[in-house]
Structure 1
Amino acid sequence: MKKLSLLLFFIALTVFSFAQDKTREQKRRERNARINEMMKEEEEGALVFNKQNAFGGKLNTDGYGIFYEHGKYKTIAITNLWWIELGERKDPKESRSVTGDGAGFQIGNPYIFGKINNLYYLKLGFGQQRLIGGKDVKNGVAVSAIYGGGISAGFLKPYYVDGRDTADQLQRVKYSPETAYTFLNPISGVSFTKGFNEVKFVPGIHARAALRFDYGHFNDLLSAIETGVNASYYTKNMDMMYNIPGKKFFFNAYVAIVLGKRK
């Protein structure tokens, strides 16, 4: 009886596995057929998708950012885009430091010596994505050019440290000519939230040019790698480091991962 039950179990398991394999094979064929149909429609000039929504993260040569993007297909090769991006810029002179007690133990939190402001930005941009190659390769990579620009809001947040004043007393300060001695003799960094109630807004503009390598051009899901350059100009000098003149114009290169969905 036990042998019969065991035999029936293995038979059922085999049938189930066969059915699963058949279902997967059927789904694969249906997917390939759908992709072939979409490629045929695109070759005939039909719009395969109407819009796309995507999120991404980017590493800039002077910081980092995250963004949301919405696209509306105009033709099979041109998509109108708008995007919103939030990020932080860093000065190349920034270096994280700690204070020791002379016995190898750290005192307080790490800090960036000489940093006087954090520079955050918020961008709102408009542009286009233009397909330039790869659309006829079923399992290949679609390459698109992206260009555009818009407004950029810069936000300068004072950078605070705990430092020793001339009387050797511990004080929490941001940089000013009056606090320069204490600020330049730091003991510890403080929470990054300190100073958000003192943020200064500086308006500006930005432009963007990039190449996007899309690994799922005929899929509902958007998955791509993007590399490009950004340029931003602000109406005031953006002071970030002590004794280093601030600047209005910023230029950087970046690489980004883009994930989203098409409809």
Structure 2
Amino acid sequence: MQKFTFFFVLFFIQSLFGLSQNLPEDMPKIFYRNEKTIALNLNSNGWGLGYRYGSRINVFEKRIYELDFSIIKHSKEISSSNSSIFSSESFVFGKQNNIFDLRFGYGKQNELFRKPDAGAVAVRYFYSVGPSVVIQKPIYYEILYRLNDSTYTIKEEKFNPTIHTSDDINGKSSFFKGFDEIKLIPGLFFKTGFNFEFSQKETTVHAIEAGILLQAYLKNLDIMAVDDNQQYFFTLFVCYRIGKITNAQQISPDYLRRHKKKINLLNWM
């Protein structure tokens, strides 16, 4: 978490430094355009994938519709193995459930700085809010029960902190074991951040995003067999976003004349 926070702050400072550079006086071509993008997200408590559709409101604003799927991890997760068993597979000792988060978001994206030319960087800020649902799936382990000094039997069981030790575990059972015990936990989220779009083509999107994600659920998410499982999460994230432009249209000269003050103000900022 500390390393993630350090790199996040470093990335943000470098981005702000980039904003202080003067933009050329010549205005670039301006387009109305919708966007379809997919993203790889790295969060301070996991990782995930996302899809976003941006629908234009005007030359500066878009409505955004998002679908994100992520894996939530606990800060105490440490991968280990049973050193006394040669064929032991890796596992996280004390982990009780896999946590998958599905989020449906609606929000807006506003452009702060447009690209002066191809190869430059457009800067936007965005936010989205909406419902989420956690899929909480139990984890089963292969538990060793010794019959004597040389033989043992294996049973598939969920982790029990009162009786199981790391020496009792051979590895995890099949991922599909426990699907019939899945629990759904509803919640809400709010996400906001900055988008830095640097594609060299008008018809594609390549962007880096950084921001914060707030998540709240109806009850604690039982990730580990510990007392500090949480119900509320404050998360930092960065993501790489790639996609394409749809319905691109050039803005008329009349529109530019009528909105000249706003465009000049954005360039001055």
TM-score, normalising length: structure 1: 0.76
Distance 1:79 1:198, change over 3 A: same
The match for 2:156 among 159, 164, 172 is 172
Aligned length: 216
**d(CA) in 2 for partners of 1:106, 1:231:** 43
Look up the match of 1:141. Answer: 121
**d(CA) in 1 for partners of 2:164, 2:80:** 16
Deviations 1:54-95 (A, max 9, x none): 111111111001011001011111010000011100111101
In structure 2, what residue type is equivalent to 1:116?
Answer: Q
Look up the match of 2:163. Answer: 181
Deviations 1:85-107 (A, max 9, x none): 11100111101111123xxx633
Look up the match of 2:33. Answer: 50
Alignment gaps of 5+ in structure 2: 1-26, 247-269
**d(CA) in 1 for partners of 2:61, 2:201:** 15
In structure 1, what residue type is equivalent to 2:227?
Answer: I
Indicate conservation of the 8 Å contact 1:164/1:182, yes or no: no
Superposition pairs of residues 127-138 of structure 1, within 5 angstroms:
127-138=107-118
Relative to its length, the structure with more helix (as a share) is 1
**d(CA) in 1 for partners of 2:126, 2:224:** 33
**d(CA) in 2 for partners of 1:87, 1:204:** 14
**d(CA) in 2 for partners of 1:79, 1:217:** 21
**d(CA) in 2 for partners of 1:125, 1:137:** 31
Question: Which gives a bigger RCO, structure 1 or 2 (Cα 8 Å, sep 6+)?
Answer: 2
Look up the match of 2:143. Answer: 163
Alignment gaps of 5+ in structure 1: 1-37, 43-47
**d(CA) in 2 for partners of 1:194, 1:52:** 39
Shift of 1:109: 1.6
Superposition pairs of residues 1-263 of structure 1, within 5 angstroms:
39-40=28-29, 42=30, 48-101=31-84, 106-165=86-145, 169-175=153-159, 180-182=162-164, 185-216=168-199, 219-263=202-246
Q: How large is the Cα RMSD of the aligned pairs?
A: 2.3
Shift of 1:171: 1.7
TM-score, normalising length: structure 2: 0.74
Distance 1:139 1:169, change over 3 A: closer
Indicate conservation of the 8 Å contact 2:139/2:172, yes or no: no
Shift of 1:246: 2.0
- Please tell me whether Structure 1 or Structure 2 has the larger radius of gyration of its CA atoms: 1
In structure 2, what residue type is equivalent to 1:250?
Answer: F
Shift of 1:218: 6.2
Runs of 4 or more consecutive aligned structure 1 residues displaced over 6 Å after TM superposition: none
Percent identity between the aligned chains?
Answer: 27
